Structure 1
């Protein structure tokens, strides 16, 4: 049974790494149950602006 649409939102804050995917999946489950939008926030505090393939792979996986 799908919950009625409400004013709630789900936000998951993650860092690059394997735990981020699991947290996003849990947030996604909650957002479906509540009929609420899901937002994913990640903050990269490094000053390194070079391309990082590992980070790009995480971002690509999270978007799916």
Structure 2
């Protein structure tokens, strides 16, 4: 993936894709997703692949 993205004639050199859900590791006291935590596998780390990330960025731009 290129280090810079072009958006409306301007370069975008960083992006944040934030998905929040029951699988989050922030442990906020106000979280409304905690009751759904049992719906996710027991694996400790869940990360999207670079391919999925690249496709998400393409669709956003």
TM-score bracket for this pair, using the shorter chain length: under 0.3
For normalisation by structure 1, the TM-score amounts to 0.24
For normalisation by structure 2, the TM-score amounts to 0.25
Q: Which has the higher helix share?
A: 1
Q: Which has the higher strand share?
A: 1
Q: Larger RCO: Structure 1 or Structure 2 (Cα < 8 Å, ≥ 6 residues apart)?
A: 1
